[in-house]
Structure 1
Amino acid sequence: MSDAGPGRGGIGGRLLAGAALAAALITAIPAAMAQDATPPAKSDAPPLKIELNRLEPAGEACRTYMLVDNSRGPALKSLKVDLFAFDTEGVAQKRLAVELGPVQEKKTVVRLFDFAGLACPKIGRLLLNDVLACEGGDATRETCLERIEPATKTSAAFDR
């Protein structure tokens, strides 16, 4: 008897079965990886709108008015953000960590802060660089950053 024939379960048959299994795995693995590569669904958390509402001179500084609209979300004990002010040519000028909280549930508030040593007309863009702290309910830095929708009513852009 010979082990060479595929129909007899010999070495040749096992080689063919192994090759078929390998081919099946090669086609199945990329499909499974593609499913894993699908981006996660966006959170159903309500948006947290932060609007750059006004810029005004305050001595040697630029006073900044931020409107924090939490009208659809849970209370936040703390919302500390990292901001960068860029000049009108896109060059970073000042960095500032600002506490915008606490923000009550379903409430809108205005917070003021100053960019010391920076004239308002020189600000061309404000960047929400990061969320440094976000506390309240099941909030995390990441979920708060995901919820934030920046907007502006000034000539300066505001984005994240």
Structure 2
Amino acid sequence: MVAEQVSGRGAGRRRGPGVGCGSVASGLAALGLTVALAGAAAAQDAAGAGAPAAAGAPIRLQLNRLEASGEACRATVVIDNLKGGAIKSYKVDLFAFDTEGVAQKRVAVELGPLPARKTTVKLFDFAGLTCPKIGRVLLNDVLACEGGEGGREGCLERTETETKAGVPLDR
């Protein structure tokens, strides 16, 4: 390291840029600060990697239509995965309640695969239950979510429900 003269001959001389102890010390300090900031950013990224998937893109599950299909009530659901990645399996546990609020029928429905950044429509039946008897549908759980952020629990947290069928779809 170059020492700068403080007194004696040359004390009044001005040094050019990059010459002298002050410039070297400033450069080393800036380099140290850059390394420290890069390390902090990498640590923050690593901590964020384990963050809950609930902060991920929402999966919107819409009960779009209920219609009679023989002795069953056929449900049309729209799954909006427009902001998320591909999901191989998205299996949900649903309960149909009657107009008095009594659970009538439980169904496990595979709604996957869900392509990345795409809306999908699926149909399924509530066998042995007529549509006028259904007062509400409950998304009880997500049973499988293969390929989704955060696994099954993450997909449940990311799932948002809505209805256009005149019957509530709740979480």
* Structure-2 separation of matches of 1:120 and 1:129: 19
So what's the TM-score if we normalise by structure 2?
Answer: 0.68
Partner of residue 160, structure 2: 149
Q: 2:109 aligns with which of 94, 98, 101?
A: 98
The secondary structure found in structure 2 opposite 1:80 is strand
| TM-fit CA distance, 1:138 | 3.7
| TM-fit CA distance, 1:141 | 0.7
Share of identical aligned residues, percent?
64
* Structure-2 separation of matches of 1:136 and 1:101: 11
Q: Which runs of 5+ in 1 are unaligned?
A: 1-39
Distance change >3 Å, CA 157–CA 137, structure 1 → 2: closer
Pairing 1:86–2:100 present:
no
Partner of residue 146, structure 2: 135
Once the two structures are superposed, residues 87-144 of structure 1 have per-residue CA deviations (whole angstroms, 9 ceiling, x without a partner) of 0110000000000000000000000000011000111100000010001154411000
Pairing 1:51–2:95 present:
no
Measured on the aligned residues, the alpha-carbon RMSD in Å equals 1.5
Partner of residue 116, structure 1: 127
Partner of residue 68, structure 1: 79
In our comparison, the structure showing a higher alpha carbon Rg is 2
Return the letter of the residue paired with 1:109.
T
Return the letter of the residue paired with 1:123.
I
| TM-fit CA distance, 1:155 | 1.4
Partner of residue 88, structure 2: 77
| TM-fit CA distance, 1:42 | 7.7
The alignment of Structure 1 onto Structure 2 pairs a total of residues equal to 121
Does structure 1 conserve the Cα–Cα contact (< 8 Å) formed by 2:59 and 2:158? yes
* Structure-2 separation of matches of 1:82 and 1:70: 19
Does structure 1 conserve the Cα–Cα contact (< 8 Å) formed by 2:63 and 2:162? yes
The secondary structure found in structure 1 opposite 2:154 is helix
Return the letter of the residue paired with 1:76.
I
Distance change >3 Å, CA 86–CA 137, structure 1 → 2: closer
| TM-fit CA distance, 1:154 | 1.2
Partner of residue 14, structure 1: none
* Structure-2 separation of matches of 1:65 and 1:77: 20
* Structure-2 separation of matches of 1:42 and 1:133: 15
* Structure-2 separation of matches of 1:78 and 1:97: 12
Return the letter of the residue paired with 1:159.
D
